[in-house]
Amino acid sequence: MPAGVGIPRALLYYYYYPLWKEFFKTLGCEVIISDKTNKAILNDGLSHCVDEACLPVKLAFGHVLNLAAKKVDYIFIPRLVSVAKGEYICPKFLGFPDMVKHSLTGLPEIIDVTINMRLKHRELSKAYTQVGKLFTGNRVKIWQAYRRGEKALKRYNQLLLEGCLPEEAFAVMEGKQKQSKLNSHDLKIAVIGHPYNIYDPYISMNIIKRLNSMGARVVTADQLPEEVVRREAANLPKKLFWTLGQRMVGAGYSFVKDNNIDGIINIVAFACGPDSMTGELIARSSRKAGQTPFLNLTLDEHTGEAGVVTRIEAFLDMVRWKKSQQAAGLGSA
C-alpha cells in the first residue's frame, strides 16, 4: 500500500502544491489534501492554536487536524526559512511545524524538513533529497521526482501569470479545459494579499468571485512577472528582507502606477505584523499618487460577511462614480 502523505490546504499550499504533489506521486506516495476550508476546520484551528497567532496560521492548524482525522501516514509541513538569497520568509512559517508538534497530540509523523535558501540555492534539492529518503533509497528516483516537481511548479506559475486562480490552475494541470474569461466587466480591480488569504474562498468570503459578479475583473500579484515585482519593490529606500512582503509592496507599487487599474483592495490578516507595514507602504504610495482608490480590508475570525460585502459595494460605487467624473472631464473630484 502506498504511503499517504497529507498536505494542509493552507499557507504554502497555494505556492508549492504542484511541486509537492508531483514529487510525492513520483516517489509512489498517495497525496491527500485537507478538505476545503469550512466552519468546522476554522473552529478546530481556533481552539487549538495560541490566541496571538495570525488568522492563516490558526486556520492551518485546523487543516492539520483535518488531515489527522483522515488517518494519513505523514503530514508534510516544511520549515521554510528562506526561498531567496539574502531574504527570509515570515517567522510564522519557520515556527509553524514546531507549534503544531507542541500543541497537538496524536498526529501522524510530521515531515518538517528545513528549507533555507538564504545562502545557497542548492539547499532546496538537498532538503527534498532528505524527504525522498523516507520513501526510497534510490537517489536517482528522488532527483527525478524533484525535477518533475519543479517542472510542475513552473507550469503552475505560468498558469497563474495567465490569470488562472490556483484551484483552476490545479484543475488545468489535471487535464481540465481552461475556462475562458468573460469580458463583461467594466472595472479592473487589483486585489493585493497573500495567496492563502485571497484565494481561500471561505476565509476571503469569496472576494474574487464576488468582485467578478459585481462587474469587476480582478488582477493579483500573481499576474505580474517576478522581475516587475522586484523592480518596483526596489524603489523602497531600504530593501525588505521578507520575500512575501516584498512581493506585496512591489505588486502594490506597480498597480498604483498602472492607469488601467481602477481600484486597489488590500487584504490583511488580523495579527499579521508584516502586512500591517506593507499595507501602510502601499496605502501611502496610493495616496501620494492620488489616482487610484484604495480599500484596506482586515480579515479575522469575527469578520462578518455582510460587513465585507457592504464595504466592497460602497467601494465599487465610489470607483464607478470617479470614473464617470473623469470621463465627463470633471477630474477626480
Span near ligand SF4 by CB under 6 A; candidates 109-117, 223-231, 265-273, 305-313: 265-273
Check residue 90 for interaction with ligand SF4 (CB under 6 A): yes
User: Nearest Cα to 78, choosing from 100, 54, 103, 105?
Assistant: 100
Q: Please select the residue that binds ligand SF4; options are 274, 293, 294, 295, rule is CB under 6 A.
A: 274
Q: How far is the CB of 318 from ligand SF4 (least distance, A)?
A: 27
* Contact between 20 and 76 (Cβ < 8 Å): yes
Check residue 54 for interaction with ligand SF4 (CB under 6 A): yes
Q: How far is the CB of 275 from ligand SF4 (least distance, A)?
A: 5
3-state secondary structure the chain: CCCEEEECCCCCHHHHHHHHHHHHHHCCCEEEECCCCCHHHHHHHHHHCCCCCCHHHHHHHHHHHHHHHCCCCEEECCEEEECCCCCECCHHHHHHHHHHHHHCCCCCEEECCEEECCCCCCHHHHHHHHHHCCCCCCHHHHHHHHHHHHHHHHHHHHHHHCCCCHHHHHHHHCCCCCCCCCCCCCEEEEEECCHHHHCCCCCCCCHHHHHHHCCEEEEEHHHCCHHHHHHHHCCCCCCCCEHHHHHHHHHHHHHHHCCCCCEEEEEEECCCHHHHHHHHHHHHHHHHHCCCCEEEEEECCCCCHHHHHHHHHHHHHHHHHHHHHHHCCCCCC
Interactions with ligand SF4, residue window 275-294 (CB under 6 A): 275
- Measured from the CB atom, is 250 or 293 closer to ligand SF4? 250
Check residue 251 for interaction with ligand SF4 (CB under 6 A): no
Check residue 194 for interaction with ligand SF4 (CB under 6 A): yes
Check residue 22 for interaction with ligand SF4 (CB under 6 A): no
Q: Please select the residue that binds ligand SF4; options are 272, 282, 297, 316, rule is CB under 6 A.
A: 272
d(C-alpha 17, C-alpha 1), whole Å: 23
Q: How far is the CB of 176 from ligand SF4 (least distance, A)?
A: 30
Span near ligand SF4 by CB under 6 A; candidates 166-174, 270-278, 308-316, 324-332: 270-278
- Measured from the CB atom, is 300 or 313 closer to ligand SF4? 300
Q: How far is the CB of 301 from ligand SF4 (least distance, A)?
A: 13
Check residue 117 for interaction with ligand SF4 (CB under 6 A): no
Check residue 191 for interaction with ligand SF4 (CB under 6 A): no
* Contact between 287 and 215 (Cβ < 8 Å): no
- Measured from the CB atom, is 145 or 272 closer to ligand SF4? 272
Span near ligand SF4 by CB under 6 A; candidates 227-235, 271-279, 295-303, 304-312: 271-279
Check residue 60 for interaction with ligand SF4 (CB under 6 A): no
- Measured from the CB atom, is 64 or 145 closer to ligand SF4? 64
User: Nearest Cα to 193, choosing from 261, 264, 254, 258?
Assistant: 264
- Measured from the CB atom, is 193 or 293 closer to ligand SF4? 193
Q: Please select the residue that binds ligand SF4; options are 31, 189, 269, 282, rule is CB under 6 A.
A: 269
- Measured from the CB atom, is 208 or 277 closer to ligand SF4? 277
Check residue 56 for interaction with ligand SF4 (CB under 6 A): yes
List interacting residues with ligand SF4 (CB under 6 A).
54, 56-57, 90, 92, 194, 244, 269, 272-275
